[in-house]
Structure 1
């Protein structure tokens, strides 16, 4: 599962917002598919630049994510690296492309259901649910030192 962090959560939400508002979408195009749209947000590259870089590798985002090498200077490796730097794993990249992570699907509005990878509304629902899941996980990691705060408060009022 992805490493929850504010930047990744914001990128997922921004991608969903853009898709909801009519951003170009075509599942069969590396520049405008599920991961392509997310990369547009993360990298500030446009769909044509992403498509150009993606064509230096072979396969869909799933295969590209599994095959990339972090020491390679291949342009596709740069895109995959940008996704992993934001906290995604190759499995997350696969799941974003195919909308398959069951933990995310369980958090869909209305409950668990299978989504279609090439349906804009399904992608939006998945990305929003993924962002919500990561936000909840991030909030669970925050520890508030109540004892220390209470001691400081007592010292302030004494």
Structure 2
């Protein structure tokens, strides 16, 4: 599962909002699909740039991830590297394209877990649920300092 970073959580929410508000969505387009839309938010590249980069190598996002090389200078590998630096893991990219990460799906009622990977509303719901999950994980890591109440009650003299 992805590292819960504020950048990734925010990008997931922005992507979901953009899709809900009518951003171009086309599951068969490498820059306009589930991963492509998130990649746009994380990289600030256009859907056409992402698609063009991906077409320099064969395959969909699953195959691009399988062939990913962190030392490559292929543009699609640079896009994937930027996505990973935001907190994603390679498997997360695959799960996003198919909307099939079990931890995310468990957040839905049983009757709503059968998301269709190429339906805009399902992608929006999945990204929002994933962002909520990551935010909860991030908040669990935050520890607030414990204050000594006896010191707080004492009068401070300057």
Relative to the length of structure 2, the TM-score reads: 0.92
> Could you tell me how far 1:114 is from its partner in structure 2?
1.6
Q: Indicate whether 1:107 and 2:107 are aligned.
A: yes
Please say if 1:27 is aligned against 2:27. Answer: yes
In structure 2, runs of 5+ residues without a counterpart are none
Q: Larger Cα Rg: Structure 1 or Structure 2? A: 2
> Corresponding residue for 2:84?
84
Determine the structure 2 residue equivalent to 1:97: 97
Cα distance in 2, alignment partners of residues 131 and 87 from structure 1: 12
Contact 1:33 1:97 in 2 (8 A): yes
Moved over 4 A (4+): none
Q: Distance in 2 between matches of 1:145 and 1:156?
A: 14
Partner of 1:42: 42
Structure 1 Cα separation of the partners of residues 50 and 137 of structure 2 = 30
RMSD (CA atoms) = 1.1
- Cα separation, 2, equivalents of 1:82 and 1:62: 17
Q: Which residue of 2 aligns with 1:59?
A: 59
**Aligned residue runs from structure 1 range 60-75, under 5 A:** 60-75=60-75
Residue equivalent to 1:155: 151
2: CA distance, partners of 1:29 / 1:156? 59
Could you tell me which runs of 5 or more consecutive residues in structure 1 were left unpaired when the two chains were aligned.
none
The corresponding residue for 1:138 is 138
Query: C-alpha offsets along residues 99-124 of structure 1, whole Å, 9 cap, x if unaligned?
Result: 0001101113x455121110000000
Count the aligned residue pairs: 153
> What corresponds to 1:16 in structure 2?
16
Query: TM-score, normalised on structure 1?
Result: 0.92
